[in-house]
Amino acid sequence: MLDALTQRITAVLDRLKGRGSLTESDVKEALREIRIALLEADVHYGVVKDLIAAIRERAVGSEVLESLTPGQQVVKIVRDALTESMGEQRSALTLERKPSIILMAGLQGSGKTTTAAKLASALVRDGKKPVLAACDVHRPAAIDQLEALGRTLDVPVIARQDPAPDKNAAAAVSWAADNGKDVVIVDTAGRLQIDEEMMTELEDIRRAVEPDEVLLVVDAMTGQEAVDVASAFDESIGLTGIVLAKMDGDARGGAALSIRHVTGKPIVYLGTGEKADRLEAFHPGRMAERILGMGDVLSLIEDAESKLDQEKAEQLVEHIRKDKFTLDDFLDQLLEMEKLGPLGGILEKLPGAGRLKGKLPDEVDDGDMRRTVAILRSMTLEERRNPSIIGGSRKKRIARGSGTKVRDVNRVLSRFEDARRALKHLSGRKGKGRLPKELLGGA
């Protein structure tokens, strides 16, 4: 996500940070390069114009040019300008009445139905009791798709075969009120392009259920086109927020940087994958820092706190303390890591991650993690708990069972031994098997 834009802008700013003093000419040249980078990332031309003007106004002045750290000052100015363009503060949903109603809108193929399910999953994690209303009566299998997603999440899906979507939506709201549910997420039909029939249908649903939130789901990979789509929907039905889907794809950044500035509507969530838990709250400041290669450690910590098993973490610490770290623990930790999403997404949230592009070993990827998990799962419980018994014949069986080579099995065993020795050393540093407070979460 945003790799090319991040690399271009950080390269420009790194050159400024490396200089002891800056001239007005230096700043103007840097702004010219930033402007080109933003336009190539498909950021709306009006947004680029306003951003560059805002940065120039603050950066070309004695306070910056005569500063002891002018490069750092410019970085801060760029960060603040990007943040302001995207909305400054996190925009949370307003869900005060019971049941609250969220109307989902968007073009066909934008990821609207999947996003509705992701939103239900996020609300469950927040302690809500959502219900999904299947109101797309046009797309074949749309209702089946939503019902399948609902079963996976254990979230009720209300689907009537009434040809009038507004009646289906109203029925779902009544069911939710009667059954103690506090949020209704209404999935609606999309089209390949905006048309009068679709907008009329959405207006009918809006009048029937009077939603608290009207969220437009747009494909982040469409760039500037997403801004035009958002403007058209807002004019017709009135939006309260935007969800950018497919941000894990080849998103150049145009939509994320343009939509709020042009439409005035906040981005509330980012969709970053197919799984139900791949929906992130959108924080403008954190996104600006990601674009500038500063990472997003806060989001990574929040992700870990919400998705990782605390009991398994405590068990791991206990095993490390007692020097009983096994391949079983190794497997558990890899499976826990998978909950945080692709390795690329995790690296992206670490400061300076952009500089690691192309410098990491080829084997450090999601495919390698999947192979490692397959190898560990091909072992017996006894082998995982006592890897010293794994000889040549067992390695061949494990390789056959996991669809890998014996050398892959040897590599996994070697990595495990490296990890075990490192953890043993870490445990012993404090004496009497006590681990550093950082590893224990401050305990």
The larger pLDDT score, comparing residue 146 to residue 311, is at: 146
Q: Does the domain made of 307-428 have the CATH classification 1.10.260.30?
A: yes
Residue 141 has pLDDT above 60, yes or no: yes
CATH 1.10.260.30 positions along the chain are: 307-428
Predicted local confidence at residue 346, as pLDDT: 57
Residue 101 has pLDDT above 80, yes or no: yes
Q: Give the confidence band of 361 by pLDDT, cuts at 50, 70, 90.
A: very low
Residue 20 has pLDDT above 80, yes or no: no
Determine the average pLDDT of the residues in 232-243: 92
Predicted local confidence at residue 197, as pLDDT: 87
Residue 100 has pLDDT above 50, yes or no: yes
Q: Please tell me which of 70-74, 107-111, 352-356 the model is most confident about, judged by mean pLDDT.
A: 107-111
Q: Give the confidence band of 342 by pLDDT, cuts at 50, 70, 90.
A: low
Determine the average pLDDT of the residues in 107-116: 91
- The CATH-assigned architecture of domain 100-301 is 3-Layer(aba) Sandwich (3.40)
Predicted local confidence at residue 203, as pLDDT: 94
Residue 244 has pLDDT above 70, yes or no: yes
Give the tens place of pLDDT for each residue, 406-423.
999 998 898 888 777 776
The larger pLDDT score, comparing residue 113 to residue 292, is at: 113
CATH 1.20.120.140 positions along the chain are: 3-86
pTM: 0.68
Residue 300 has pLDDT above 60, yes or no: no
Tell me whether the omega of the peptide bond preceding residue 99 falls within 30 degrees of 0, making it cis.
Answer: yes
Q: Give the confidence band of 22 by pLDDT, cuts at 50, 70, 90.
A: confident
Predicted local confidence at residue 204, as pLDDT: 94
Q: CB 134: neighbour CB atoms within 10 A? A: 26
CATH 3.40.50.300 positions along the chain are: 100-301
Predicted local confidence at residue 211, as pLDDT: 95
Structure tokens that stand for 35 in this block: 């402007």
The larger pLDDT score, comparing residue 431 to residue 167, is at: 167
Residue 99 has pLDDT above 70, yes or no: yes
Distance CA 205, CA 189 (A): 11
244 burial via Cβ count (<10 Å: 0-12, 13-18, 19+): buried
Predicted local confidence at residue 121, as pLDDT: 93
Low-confidence winner among 1-15, 215-229, 335-349 (lowest mean pLDDT): 335-349
SS (H, E, C) the chain: CCHHHHHHHHHHHHHHHCCCCCCHHHHHHHHHHHHHHHHHCCCCHHHHHHHHHHHHHHHCCHHHHCCCCHHHHHHHHHHHHHHHHHCCCCCCCCCCCCCEEEEEECCCCCCHHHHHHHHHHHHHHCCCCEEEEEECCCCCCHHHHHHHHHHHHCCCEECCCCCCHHHHHHHHHHHHHHCCCCEEEEEECCCCCCCHHHHHHHHHHHHHHCCCEEEEEEEHHHCHHHHHHHHHHHHHHCCCEEEEECCCCCCCCHHHHHHHHHHCCCEEEEECCCCCCCEEECCHHHHHHHHCCCCCHHHHHHHHHHHCCHHHHHHHHHHHHCCCCCHHHHHHHHHHHHCCCCHHHHHHCCCCHHHHCCCCCCCCCHHHHHHHHHHHHCCCHHHHHCHHHCCHHHHHHHHHHHCCCHHHHHHHHHHHHHHHHHHHHHHHCCCCCCCCCCCCCCC
163 burial via Cβ count (<10 Å: 0-12, 13-18, 19+): exposed
Q: Give the confidence band of 345 by pLDDT, cuts at 50, 70, 90.
A: low
Determine the average pLDDT of the residues in 67-82: 82
* Mean pLDDT (the chain, rounded): 81
Low-confidence winner among 56-70, 160-174, 208-222, 395-409 (lowest mean pLDDT): 56-70
Residue 432 has pLDDT above 60, yes or no: no
CATH number of 3-86: 1.20.120.140
Residue 48 has pLDDT above 70, yes or no: yes
Q: Please tell me which of 67-71, 310-314, 337-341, 404-408 the model is most confident about, judged by mean pLDDT.
A: 404-408
Distance CA 287, CA 267 (A): 11
